[in-house]
Amino acid sequence: EVQLVESGGALVQPGGSLRLSCTASGFTFNNYWMTWVRQAPGKGLEWVANIKQDGSDKYYVDSVRGRFSISRDNANKSMFLQMDSLRVDDTAMYYCARRAVAGWSNWYFDFWGRGTLVTVSS
Amino acid sequence: NFVLTQPHSVSESPGKTVTLSCTRSSGSIASNYVQWYQQRPGSAPTTVIYANKQRPSGVPDRFSGSIDSSSNSASLTISGLKTEDEADYYCQSYDTSTLWEVFGGGTKLTVL
């Protein structure tokens, strides 16, 4: 059974840092792109970042580029999101998701974790 | 880059059929596959349709997806509505020019 478990969410002050983790099980982790998606309270889903199987390619939404860094440890089936210079509008539930092939140059998020809550407030 | 626009909310009665729309602002809807995710209150999203019309295993055939190039939109149709279908539904596609994933704003489906 595919499982994704996020951790690391917390209350942090504006300007602070936080590192989120996503631990995978039930599949060959290094065969898949992985993704972070966030959801602000009462709002919709927002894609944050993708990382390739070997970590060589990483993509970010503009609002986090330069502040957030996605990485992975295939040996330990884990993915991370290092979040620096946090802002109030980064407050959200952060989900990790597995990115599966839907077709040529097309992907979708076939499994999601339950999320970890990040609150940025003074 | 493009935007996916969804109606904010839709209501329908149990047993009826409802169609949720997702309109792409620029570029062809057929350029990249569209996915649909269901998110029940307090839960993580789950996939109900991928690659425009494919259903993951375990998703009932009451759920179907399609695209329409004339309106540049994708649709999720749910037939035989059940109260358990009450949820937020998000469409999603991939922007090959920016290499971003794009989500629609979501539609809140009320079944009553």
For range B95-99, the mean pLDDT = 89
* Predicted confidence (pLDDT) per residue in B14-42, tens digit: 999 999 999 999 999 999 999 999 999 99
Is there a contact between A50 and B101 if contact means CB atoms under 8 Å apart? yes
Pairing status of strand A58-60 against strand A18-25:
unpaired
Is there a contact between B94 and A105 if contact means CB atoms under 8 Å apart? yes
Per-residue pLDDT, A102: 85
Is there a contact between B46 and A112 if contact means CB atoms under 8 Å apart? yes
B-chain CB neighbours of A100 within 8 Å are 50
Provide the sign of the torsion angle of the four alpha carbons A108, B59, B48, A36, taken in this order: negative
* Contacts of B61 by beta carbon, 8 Å cutoff, 6+ apart: B55
Query: CB-based contact (8 Å) between B33 and chain A?
Result: yes
* Predicted confidence (pLDDT) per residue in A107-117, tens digit: 899 999 999 99
Per-residue pLDDT, A103: 82
Per-residue pLDDT, B24: 97
A-chain CB neighbours of B36 within 8 Å are none
Angular region, A38: left φ>0, alpha ψ -120 to 50, beta rest: beta
How many helices (DSSP H) and strands (DSSP E) are in chain A?
0, 11
- Name which of B56, B59, B49, B37 is nearest B109 in CA terms: B37
Is there a contact between B92 and A105 if contact means CB atoms under 8 Å apart? no
Is there a contact between A95 and B45 if contact means CB atoms under 8 Å apart? yes
Enumerate residues 40 to 79 of chain B having a beta carbon within 8 A of any beta carbon in chain A. Answer: 43-47, 50-51, 54, 56
